[in-house]
């Protein structure tokens, strides 16, 4: 595949990429993309485990009983017509920015067009922490002060299951309804996207350093787990759904439809690789530096990282296994009691207009969930438009798999087993 052409990027973005390539702990400033991908890693990994103490048990421990599903119908009077504003909470550095970092061009354009002012807050550092911020109000049926939030699919599933988010009005989402990529249309936790729309997709692939592998291409999870030449130089991810999901795929199992026995077999396979020291460690975002330097010869990694790593290090390669790869999403939802539901829906729909989606995709380098965005993206960066890690082609989309939604008891049991594996 082709790398991004740095000459087509803004000066600030090029500098951010350059600085970020130094990697965590190197003393260099963290790049803009690195800040965004760090949550896909260290913080996301924390999220998987911490909220699992989650499930209904953790809610009870926090003094909040497990919520009954209200069907997402709890709302309040919509003040959108009189109050031309919307409060949007998102992850750190997960949107386009001007070179001086004082403006969000796409949000400015939305305000100019609609007269709706966006209060944009980067107050999501990880799913668990953010859940802790909003759950007291949601459980009490109160306004969180936010009209739109962006959370990872497993937390989105939980909020929907608890009945803590509002059902979307399709009449306010013509672009979103029409332009949503087929790949993301029907997750099992939100069939037909009644409550959510994806902000971006995150792909988990095999990554390797061709110099560290001695010129050999790494094309399967089996090689990661069993190849003697890679012993002690393999990394898996500390996110359960990615590492177990990729292992299930390699075993010929479907991560969207597996049994407890399948899960245990995948854990046992990973445990064997840990015990014989084939796997060096389970990583968060810090695999980026190790892979670039060759300390890790091969690992599982996230596409957003790999797009940017290849800018400065042509030795870094990626491969989509024949068995498939894991995809997750960050998703836009409207909490119960939000004051400006219609305004929030208009903002969601705005980001599904292809020119706007292209602007966002070119900046954040994650999978764009908007079908037909290539032409608009090519106006900004032709190579990005041809990059299957940003705009999946038919083969890439066909190989995509999502981890099935878990019930609370399942999630607790699975995360406990995975924690025993990674902590050991």
pLDDT at 18: 28
Q: Are 248 and 219 in contact (CB under 8 A)?
A: no
286 has a pLDDT exceeding 50: yes
Which of the pair, 42 or 298, is modelled with greater confidence? 298
pLDDT at 73: 52
Assess if CATH 3.40.190.10 describes domain 202-327+408-423: yes
pLDDT at 42: 36
Q: Are 336 and 365 in contact (CB under 8 A)?
A: no
Q: Using the structure block, give the residue that is written with the tokens 């890790």.
A: 296
- If you average pLDDT over residues 312-325, what whole number do you get? 94
Which of the pair, 277 or 54, is modelled with greater confidence? 277
pTM for this structure? 0.77
Which of the pair, 101 or 129, is modelled with greater confidence? 129
pLDDT bin (cut points 50, 70, 90) of residue 50 is: very low
pLDDT bin (cut points 50, 70, 90) of residue 307 is: confident
239 has a pLDDT exceeding 90: no
* Sequence ranges of the chain with CATH classification 3.40.190.10: 85-200+329-392, 202-327+408-423
Q: Are 194 and 167 in contact (CB under 8 A)?
A: yes
Q: Using the structure block, give the residue that is written with the tokens 């990429």.
A: 17
pLDDT at 75: 55
Give residue-wise pLDDT tens across range 357-368: 999 999 988 999
Closest CA to 333 of 144, 120, 150: 150
68 has a pLDDT exceeding 50: no
pLDDT at 81: 96
pLDDT at 72: 47
Q: To the nearest 10°, the Cα dihedral for 94, 97, 99, 105?
A: 160
Mean residue pLDDT across the chain: 84
The CA distance from 384 to 382, in Å, is 5
pLDDT at 93: 84
Architecture of domain 85-200+329-392: 3-Layer(aba) Sandwich (3.40)
182 has a pLDDT exceeding 50: yes
108 has a pLDDT exceeding 50: yes
The CA distance from 185 to 198, in Å, is 9
């Amino acid at each position: 595949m082709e790398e991004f052409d740095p000459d087509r990027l803004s000066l600030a973005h090029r500098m951010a990429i350059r600085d970020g390539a130094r990697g965590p702990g190197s003393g260099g400033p963290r790049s803009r993309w690195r800040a965004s991908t760090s949550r896909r890693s260290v913080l996301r990994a924390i999220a998987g485990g911490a909220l699992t103490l989650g499930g209904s048990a953790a809610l009870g421990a926090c003094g909040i009983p497990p919520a009954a599903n209200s069907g997402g119908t709890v709302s309040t009077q919509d003040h959108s017509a009189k109050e031309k504003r919307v409060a949007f909470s998102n992850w750190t550095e997960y949107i386009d920015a001007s070179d001086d970092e004082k403006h969000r061009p796409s949000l400015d354009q939305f305000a100019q067009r609609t007269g709706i002012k966006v209060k944009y807050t980067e107050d999501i550092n990880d799913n668990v922490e953010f859940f802790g911020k909003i759950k007291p109000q949601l459980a009490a049926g109160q306004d969180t002060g936010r009209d739109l939030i962006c959370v990872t699919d497993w937390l989105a599933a939980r909020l929907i299951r608890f009945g803590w988010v509002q059902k979307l009005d399709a009449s306010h989402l013509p672009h979103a309804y029409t332009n949503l990529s087929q790949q993301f249309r029907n997750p099992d936790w939100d069939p037909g996207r009644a409550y959510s729309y994806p902000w971006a997709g995150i792909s988990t692939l095999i990554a390797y350093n061709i110099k560290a592998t001695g010129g050999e291409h790494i094309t399967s999870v089996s090689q990661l787990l069993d190849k003697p030449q890679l012993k002690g130089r393999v990394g898996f991810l500390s996110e359960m759904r990615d590492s177990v999901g990729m292992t299930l795929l390699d075993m010929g199992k479907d991560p969207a439809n597996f049994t407890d026995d399948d899960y245990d077999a995948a854990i046992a396979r990973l445990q064997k690789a840990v015990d014989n020291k084939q796997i060096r460690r389970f990583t968060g975002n810090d695999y980026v530096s190790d892979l670039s330097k060759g300390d890790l010869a091969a690992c599982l990694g996230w596409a957003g990282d790999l797009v940017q790593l290849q800018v400065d290090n042509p030795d870094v390669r990626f491969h989509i296994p024949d068995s498939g790869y894991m995809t997750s999403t960050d998703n836009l939802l409207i909490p119960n009691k939000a004051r400006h539901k219609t305004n929030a829906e208009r903002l969601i729909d705005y980001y599904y207009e292809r020119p706007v989606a292209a602007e966002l995709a070119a900046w954040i380098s994650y999978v764009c969930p908007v079908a037909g965005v290539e032409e608009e993206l090519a106006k900004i960066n032709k190579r990005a438009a041809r990059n299957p890690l940003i705009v999946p082609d038919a083969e890439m989309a066909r190989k995509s798999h999502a981890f099935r939604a878990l019930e609370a008891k399942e999630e607790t049991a699975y995360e406990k087993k995975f924690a025993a594996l990674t902590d050991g």
